[in-house]
Every structure is written in structure tokens, then in C-alpha cells.
Amino acid sequence: MTNLPREFALIEKYFRPLAGPAGLALADDAAILPAIPGREWVISVDAMVAGVHFLADDPPDLIARKLLRVNLSDLAAMAAQPFGYLLTLAAPVTTPESWFAGFAAGLAEDQARFGIALLGGDTTATPGPLMLSLTIFGEVAAGRALRRAGAQPGDEVWVSGTIGDAVLGLLARRGELADPSGALLRRYLLPEPRLSLPLAGIARAGADISDGLVQDLGHLCRAGGIGAVIEAQAVPLSPAAREAGSDYLARCLTGGDDYELVLAVPPDRAAALQAAAATSGVAVTRIGHFRADPARVVVLDAEGGEMALGPGGWSHF
């Protein structure tokens, strides 16, 4: 078969070089995950659609890296270490080869950064917009994955990094907010999965902030059957987000795409968390605590009153 159809040629040229040993050189119907004694596999899938999660003319390497990173963030939320991924790519037939080259270059860059490899995938044409789906594989000591359930009343609410930059970056991209340094847009385009933060034995529950701080903290509350109260003034904001002003505070608390972690940490482990954070170079901030009642998330403003946030979180439907 000297005249390979375009699908096979694209796989051969751009994706086979990304495959690791477990991907069997993408030459098989499936890939094999090695059994690692004492470890178990953590798996997750996240999709991105042009026009919904990114713009069709965004740089393809950044699209690839964001796709990888939102999935890696799910592993960070489970305290798992990344291993590899499967990729589904549905592209319009008009997609130029240069797009695939850029996309594969982005994958290669972040594969190297995070120590992972392509395990397999499926490519297809679509009459619609570009659509990507990535299944991520990580591994964790058996029984030690961090879960959403497990927070106890009295546990403290901690977050990594700064909150709200990504949603402000999206506003900046739409021309609704100034972003002179480009810092906000960068955070929207290229999140940083918090994989380096060692959470085993420290956090009792956790999630990554993909839907918004209030909503994802709500997931921890629902999973634990409890509530949480946080102080808006304690939520860490970046210099660029502070510059946007207090009118945007509620947006920062409910906007999606931060990919920071929200954690339940018993007070007597707070020092251990701070030590781990210092070692890994990831900032962590205490913003409130869990409590039995009411079983919902309450956000207090600077005066100690409850902030009205409107509908928390968001839906793609």
C-alpha cells in the first residue's frame, strides 16, 4: 500500500512519533497499560470543541497543550501521576497540514514537560467544527487517590495558585476587559495543572477548579454532605485580577477554567501542606472552612455579609 490515504499519512507523520512503548507504536487495535505492583490507574476524559472551548484560529500548539493540561488537572485533583493519553481528533477536511504539524508540536512539548506519551487514538473527518477528546491515564498508590468525598466539618478550605484569571482572560479576549500585560489571556489559554503538589496524607478531599471555585467547592460539599464558608477577601487574586477591580470579584469566584485545586485539609495538616507547597513552588492559600450546616457554599464579603453570586458555575448545554 504505497498510496496511504490521508488519515494514515497524518498519523504516520505527526502522531506515531508521539507514541510511547505502551502505545505499541499505534500499530495495534488497542494499547496495553502495564500492571504496576501496588499502583492503580486513574482515568479521565475531557473534550474541547472549536467555538465552545477555544477559537478555531487559536494557535494549534496552544490548543493541544490546553487539551492535555485540562486532563492532567483531573489527575492532579486525584493526586495521581500522569502516564499517557488517548486522543480523538475530528477535524474538518479543509484542515491544513500545517495545523496538524502545530498541534503535534504542542503535544510533543507538553509530553516532554509532563513525562507522558501518546497511547493511541482515533482521527476522523467531521462536517462540523474541530472537536477533540482526550483520555488521560495516571497512576497512584492503591487506595490513595484523592476523592471529592471525604471533607469533614472543621477541615479548612485551601486553594492553589490564584483564582479567576482564566475567566477574566476570556473577557479580555472578547474585548470586555483590558489585559495590557496579556497575563489573564495566557492563564486562559494555558492552564498549569498542579501535579507537583504532593497531597497524599495531607488533603482529605479535593477537586480541580474547572467549573468555577464556588461550584467545584460545592462538589466537595455535596460529596461530603456538608457545607463550606469562604471569605471573598481571602481568595488569592493575581495582580492582573486585582487591577480589574472589585466589580469582577464575583466573576473570579464563579468563573471556570482556572484548573487550580480546591482542597479539604484538616487544621493539623495545614503546616504540612504549606511545607509541600513551598517545596513544589506552588502557592497555597486558606480561604475558609467546611461546616456541617448549611449544606451549601456561603461566600462572605469584606463586611461579613453573604455575597450574592447569581447562578454559580456554568453548563456547556
**Interface residues for its own copies in 234-273 (CB under 8 A)?**
none
Q: With CA atoms as reference, report the closest residue to 291 among 230, 248, 237, 239.
A: 230
* Cα distance between residue 91 and residue 123, in whole Å: 8
Q: Is there binding between residue 101 and its own copies (CB under 8 A)?
A: no
Write out the three cell numbers for 118: 501518546
Please identify which residue in 46, 231, 257, 260 interacts with its own copies, judged by CB under 8 A: 46
Please identify which residue in 14, 18, 19, 53 interacts with its own copies, judged by CB under 8 A: 53
For 51-82, b where at least 16 C-beta lie within 10 A, e where not — what string?
eebbeeeebbbbbbbbbbbbbbbbbbbbbbbb
Q: With CA atoms as reference, report the closest residue to 260 among 240, 277, 242, 246.
A: 277
Please identify which residue in 101, 223, 229, 298 interacts with its own copies, judged by CB under 8 A: 223
Segment contacting its own copies by CB under 8 A, of 105-113, 139-147, 157-165, 266-274? 139-147
Residue closer to its own copies, measured from CB, 268 or 316: 316
Write out the three cell numbers for 170: 476570556
Residue closer to its own copies, measured from CB, 51 or 153: 51
Q: Is there binding between residue 10 and its own copies (CB under 8 A)?
A: yes
Q: Is there binding between residue 133 and its own copies (CB under 8 A)?
A: yes
Task: State which of positions 22-41 bind its own copies (CB under 8 A).
Answer: 24, 27-36, 38-41
Residue closer to its own copies, measured from CB, 215 or 238: 215
Least distance CB 40 / its own copies (angstroms):
5
Give the residues across from 285 on adjacent strands.
Answer: 159
Task: State which of positions 60-99 bind its own copies (CB under 8 A).
Answer: 74-75, 77-78, 80, 86-88, 90-91, 93
Contact 172, 261 (CB under 8 A): no
Strand extents, DSSP E, 93-219? 117-125, 131-141, 156-160, 205-208
